Amino acid sequence: MILETGLMSEEPHLLVETVDDTILVATFNRPDKLNAMSNELMRLLEEAVDHYRETPELKVMLIKSHGRYFSSGADLREGGGAKGFPTRGSQIRETHRRLPSGMRRVWDEMEGMEKPFVVAHHARCVGGSLEMSLSCDFRLAAKSASYAFPEAKFGVLPATNGVSRLVRIVGTHWARWMITANMPVDADEARMMGLVHKVYPDETFEEDVLAFCRHLAKQDSEMVGASKVAIELAKDLPAHQAASVERLVNSSLMLSPHYKDLMMAHVASIGKGKGG
């Protein structure tokens, strides 16, 4: 299926398609604009996220792009300038909280939804697109990918959850490197610091990403959703309370008839010498 993908007078800002009936693929499609995240792109991305949430058959959402940038971040031509500069601190804070593009709302929905999001960086990923990526469950990089928060060049912070999510993923040590020192990192550095899960060769990147998404789509949906909730809770709790969370979540999962069916099938396969 193909969702509505953009303004009729120009190339669509986002391409959306379904692969294997289980994977929803959203592709940034503004290579001539370095895949800058326009209001139109954000509108279509939010539509895709909503469709993903409301369609049980869809198990994985993959976000990718093409061109020499994964994305240069928010499209600055759609805001700013002398007339766009705020004059009060409260105005700035409220703008960050309720961005017209809906970025914070979409990022929060992606992080909170009990379905997995995968983002695939084939090239440079900066600013708002990196903030989006921090809200995804899995970040996959090609060898040629790189990462940066350019906001420091303007004397400000990445404030669409950039600081808060980056610290939770890579810790204060590397957050200072990328934000305070305004240092870019390449794909291997990003893997070392925990920013991305896996780095693949450029030559096989698309195939490797799709293979991972197909593997992820085969996982039990109830387990995947419950694991997102349990992991988010566990990271903020003392160890003994986190252990209670995992017991509580598993007690629900193990009462499902699906668990019994899967376990019996596994035991049967062991009996036939096929287990492992």
The pLDDT of residue 2 is above 70: no
Using 50, 70 and 90 to split pLDDT, how confident is the model at 196?
Answer: very high
Its sign, for the CA torsion 228, 232, 235, 237, is negative
HSE toward the beta carbon, residue 106, CA cutoff 13 A: 25
Quote the CA–CA distance of 110 and 131 in Å, as a whole number: 12
Q: Could you tell me how far CA 214 lies from the centroid of its own chain?
A: 17
Tens digit of pLDDT for each residue in 130-150?
A: 999 999 999 999 999 999 999
Tens digit of pLDDT for each residue in 22-61?
A: 999 999 999 999 999 999 999 999 999 999 999 999 999 9
Quote the CA–CA distance of 242 and 232 in Å, as a whole number: 10
pLDDT at 260: 84
76: closest CA among 126, 26, 134? 126
Using 50, 70 and 90 to split pLDDT, how confident is the model at 91?
Answer: low
Q: Which of 90-94, 154-158, 179-183 has the lowest mean pLDDT?
A: 90-94
- List of residues 6+ apart from 178 with CB closer than 8 A: 147, 148, 149, 166, 170, 184, 185
Could you give the strand order of the β-sheet that contains 138-142, starting from the edge strand earlier in sequence?
14-19, 23-28, 60-65, 117-121, 138-142, 198-200
